[in-house]
Amino acid sequence: MLLLVQAIPILISLLTGWSNSLNRNDAAIMRQSDRVHFKCAQPAPEQNALINQAIEQQYLVRRIEFVGNEYTRDNVLRRKITLEEGDVFTRENLIKSLESVSTLKKIIYPVKLSDVEIHLDRSEKIIDMTICFKETRRSPGSSTKRAS
């Protein structure tokens, strides 16, 4: 009986530590899966309606985010994007930006309008965009240094 009373705190301590490590691992997996499984598949009719509203009401670009650029730094992508944060949104600038960024050799497929997710803040008249990329796989012998 005495042995059981002494073993209970040890078991509780072990279970608590094991539970905490599971929670940390689950959080890390969730963060990683959020990045990996980002859809970037906004229905075209919804996207077109949002783009048209942004153009008609002269929304300003608040934020342009990039997803999927594991090897290409954000600043490299931003240099290629002609549509900048703070600009009045236009479809022409978005298309030019996508064509420009598609010339980077690290990206497998050209970036199309279907790779862009649009979100509007109607009260502030601002537009946020997420642009999704698919990059080439790096060969095992290549440098681990990211593109600059």
Q: Tell me, which fold does domain 44-132 have in CATH?
A: Ubiquitin-like (UB roll) (3.10.20)
Q: Where are the alpha helices (DSSP H) in the chain?
A: 2-36, 44-56, 74-80, 91-101
Rounded Cα gap, residues 124 and 40, in angstroms: 24
Whether 48 has a pLDDT exceeding 80, the answer reads yes
Cα separation of 129 and 37, whole Å?
A: 17
Q: How confident is the model at residue 30 (pLDDT cuts 50, 70, 90)?
A: very low
- Give pTM, 2 decimals: 0.67
Burial zone of 103 (CB within 10 Å; 0-12 exposed, 13-18 middle, 19+ buried) = exposed
55 by Cβ neighbours in 10 Å (0-12 / 13-18 / 19+) ranks as middle
pLDDT at 9: 67
Question: How many CB atoms sit inside 10 A of residue 51's CB?
Answer: 21
Give the model's pLDDT for residue 31. Answer: 41
Q: Distance (Å, rounded) from C-alpha 133 to C-alpha 124? A: 28
Residue 96's contacts (CB-CB under 8 Å, 6 or more residues apart) are 82, 83
What local confidence, expressed as pLDDT, does residue 144 receive? 47
pLDDT, residue 107, reads 78
Q: Domain locations in the chain?
A: 1-37, 44-132
pLDDT of residue 82: 92
Question: pLDDT digit string (tens) for 59-107?
Answer: 999 999 999 988 889 999 999 999 989 999 999 999 999 999 999 887 7
